[in-house]
Chains A and B, each alone.
Chain A
Amino acid sequence: MEPRTFDSADPVAWCPGCGNFGIQAALKAALAALGKKPRELLLVSGIGQAAKMPHYIKANFFNGLHGRALPAAAAAKIANRALTVIVTTGDGDCYGEGGNHFIHNIRRNVDMTVIVHDNQIYGLTRGQASPTSEPGMKTKIQPGGVILAPFPPLETALALGCGFVARGYAAEKEHLTELILAGIRHKGFSLIDVLQPCVSFNKLNTYNWYAGRVYKVGPEHDAADRAAAMTLAALRERLPIGVVYSGAKPSYEELSGLDGLPPLADAQVSGIDIAPVLTDFQ
């Protein structure tokens, strides 16, 4: 299968040079390597620049509300577990507006892959601070600089027991492709936080800024070791990319009994007989 299998006819509305293009290319390459057809995939997003991704990839898609991609995606997977479900979201969408869903869907552990385009800025609303913006970053709304401590996505996910935690970089396409593939193949909630320059609004975390900081995690890191993963995730001066943690964990589908049922979407709705349970109300 070729990446172009997933080409969409919808014209792309991202800025030239946007990190989203790298993520899009990596995602298409991963899907091609996976060998699933567009009809077998469901891309789910909220609102933001990252959330436009499902329009630009040929697959089933659900472009819902800002912050609400995760609940919609989890339920779609529960309803139709034959689908491969991938969420494309941003730092504002996933860690800000949708923070509660981020926490609880890691706990829920439905089998889906969550790719967070983490550009540390709000792009669609033109350049305000995001939950991952660095303290001191000046914006129109924070002219004196951001004063809030940044949200730590990897450490949060690890603390919540997430079974697959990775960090990618939009400019490292092949590396990111492998991360996405590994995330999809992991059964359960997979988080891939992707460092992504925003060429229009984020003048701080530029391609140059990342070039001096990003490095690939080597074989010396044991991704099955949660404590080592936490240490890696806590690094701030240098930014490791790769699989930070990967470990088997019972998924929602296993624990809920869903794996023992035919896909809910295939269930008949006609001829359901409730007479046997009415004796409970006599």
Chain B
Amino acid sequence: MKNEISVRITGEAGQGIISAGMMLARLYKDSGRHVFAIQDYMSRIRGGNNFIQVRAAVSPVAAPVERADIIVALDREAVDAGKAALAPGGVLLLDADKFGVKDLGNGWLNAPVYALAQEAGGPIYANSVALGILAALTCGNFDDAAKAVAREFAAKGGEAAAANAQAARKGYEYASQNIKTAAFRLAAAPHARRLLLAGNEALALGAISAGCKFYTAYPMSPSTGIMNTVADYAARYGIIVEQAEDEIAAVNMAAGASFAGVRAMTASSGGGFALMCEGLSLAAMTEIPLVIALVMRPGPATGFPTRTAQEDLEFALHAGHGEFARAVYTPGSPEECFLAARRAFNTAERFQVPALILSDQYLAESFTNTALPDTAGEPPDRGLILDNGAAPGTRRYEYSADGVSPRAIPGRSEALAVADSDEHGPEGHITELAETRIKMTEKRLKLKLAGLAKEILPPTVINPGAGTMLCGFGSTLGVMREACAAANGTGFIHYPQIWPFPAAATLAALKGAGRVLTVENNATGQLARLLLRETGFKPHGSVLKYDGRPFALDEVAAALAGFGAPGR
């Protein structure tokens, strides 16, 4: 019995790769395995080469590995694209007859996937045949696979469900009779992490649970998944989801709705977020609570629309003209995405500032089995809102010790609600007075920042002061956690909130460390620079990756070995 395997299902867009991967992940989750699955797809609707790679294990997994123990190739191109990713001792399943492949490589195994699919009704069922074969190889029973197939096609119902079930059974029976190996049989143990969640879904669920009632965005990969999930449940929770004409409209709509008293949110990626920068600055100036998710993808410009990067950390920290306070959350798992959404709404309303949630394609679209955290510790808090009996003449931008002034909801009381993007006095009318300018800058920037700094989500610190300390933000949490668990004398800091920066906690965690390395999905080490700027401590190096793909566990392990022993 193996404690862990990785399985890749690969083919061209339109072959049901994601569907097969979802079924496989569900099969493993429900049969006592933990799963972590990444989606790797091209920016096209048909053709090309896509894959989903599912890592399954008896203990929790939180990152991909480079190579797969089993690769199922659903077309000829996938054989060539995938063969280099085969782990030693692994098997690459292909329909050699269908693909016209004569010479099988080492570890390649011919299986009549398309003949079996045809028996079930047609080539479109090849993905379910593959699922059946994988169930036979890795689980040795068909019941869980049958449930996963039924679940996947429940919505489509009738014919599709029956044909896919039949295809899976044919794949299972074929493999049981013809592929006599127990080398891939995977151990199992019951666990309570029953949800299968991607970061985008968890973020959307967090927003829904936090009372977001207006969600507006312009579709842009990889942020669109958040809007899809909110839209799925909009009717149930009384949420209006509005597709904006562009990202500029989206951010201004979110601000307008928030001003009018609703918890509102928008999200984008790359260039779409770039278009939102003026609106971000508007929210800061008008002191309107605003939640924006930035789901990063590689740039510049259009870049890699469907791939991953952490290139926009410095952009998120500085986006928007002028100087103002903001909070930037950098969740590292679906659970943290859920909590970040809830916290972002509270922070935005309590401090009347923009709160950004920085995610990336890898976090947004890879999925894992999880249990959502208890939310009792983060009840919604709307901050200072005037009640229905408020008197007229309340000054919107009244100076206060913490920079936050009570805001009126328009129509609710005699106190009028006011927002002004010009520099303004306490009443919210345009002013050009130097003295007012100084006081308002201090209100919006310094006082609020000081308040935000008192409530930073604490970094996750494992083995403080270890010989090697890794530092990361956002989606590197999983890979750092697993790499450190596997390497003696290694610890890490993960930042679920990167701004305001937790300088004191960072220095405490790094005290006594032999060497400090940042782990970042970008080319320049943006976190390393931030760390130096905010703490005066210069990391010894950075493990960087900027090929548009996420870190694999073995890559980080190899990089750590490559840095040699800590010595200073």
| Residues of A near any B CB (own CB < 8 A) | 10, 13, 38-40, 42, 44, 47, 52, 55, 58-65, 68, 71-80, 82-83, 100-101, 103-104, 256-258, 261, 264-270, 272, 274, 276-278, 280-282
Contacts and interface: CB of A to CB of B under 8 A. Distances in A.
Contacts of B422: 63
B233 A277 contact: yes
Contacts of B216: 75
B414 A39 contact: yes
A5 to B, nearest CB: 12
A60 B407 CA distance: 12
A76 B411 CA distance: 11
Contact of A267 (B205, B238, B248, B412): B238
B211 A272 contact: yes
Mostly, the B contact residues are mixed
A60 B194 contact: no
Contacts of B259: 62, 72, 76
Interface string B186-212: 000000001111000100010011110
A63 B288 CA distance: 12
B344 to A, nearest CB: 13
B416 A64 contact: no
Given A68-B248, A264-B262, A265-B260, A78 B214 contact: yes
Nearest to B334: A281
B112 interface: no
A256 B409 CA distance: 23
Interface of B: 194-197, 201, 205, 208-211, 213-214, 216, 232-233, 235-238, 240, 242, 244-246, 248-250, 252-264, 278-279, 282, 286, 345, 372, 379-380, 382, 408-414, 416-422, 427-430
Contacts of A281: 195-197, 201
A76 B257 contact: yes
Given A61-B419, A63-B421, A44 B256 contact: yes
28 contacts: A39-B410, A42-B417, A55-B420, A59-B416, A60-B408, A60-B410, A60-B417, A64-B256, A64-B419, A68-B279, A72-B253, A74-B256, A75-B252, A76-B410, A78-B214, A83-B260, A100-B249, A101-B248, A264-B213, A264-B257, A265-B260, A267-B213, A267-B262, A269-B380, A274-B209, A277-B233, A278-B205, A281-B197
Contacts of B197: 281
B410 A83 contact: yes
A78 B257 contact: yes
Nearest to B345: A269
Given A75-B260, A76-B410, A265-B262, A270 B240 contact: no
Given A72-B256, A272-B208, A278-B195, A264 B238 contact: yes
Contacts of A63: 419-422
Nearest to A276: B236
Contact of B260 (A10, A80, A268): A80
Contacts of A55: 420, 429-430
B263 A269 contact: yes
A60 B237 CA distance: 28
Contact of B252 (A60, A64, A80): A64
Contacts of A62: 256, 259, 286, 417-419
* Nearest 7 pairs of A and B residues by beta carbon: A269-B211, A265-B261, A72-B256, A75-B256, A75-B253, A104-B245, A79-B260
Given A60-B416, A269-B382, A80 B262 contact: yes
A71 B262 CA distance: 15
A247 B260 CA distance: 29
Nearest to A100: B245
Contacts of A60: 408, 410-411, 416-418
Given A65-B282, A281-B201, A100 B246 contact: yes
Nearest to A280: B232
Contact of A75 (B254, B408, B410): B254
Nearest to A281: B195
A265 B388 CA distance: 13
B238 A83 contact: no
Contacts of B210: 269, 272
B348 to A, nearest CB: 12
A100 B248 CA distance: 10
Contact of A80 (B196, B278, B380, B410): B410
B413 A75 contact: no
A258 B257 CA distance: 14
B256 A71 contact: yes
Contacts of A64: 252, 255-256, 282, 286, 419, 421
Contact of A83 (B235, B262, B411): B411
Given A63-B420, A64-B419, A264-B262, A71 B253 contact: yes
Contacts of A267: 211, 213, 238, 262
Nearest to B233: A277
Contacts of A100: 245-246, 248-249
B215 to A, nearest CB: 11
B194, B411, B420, B430 — most chain A CB neighbours (10 Å): B411
Contacts of A40: 411
Contacts of A38: 416
B205 A274 contact: yes
B208 A65 contact: no
A46 to B, nearest CB: 9
A75 B256 CA distance: 5
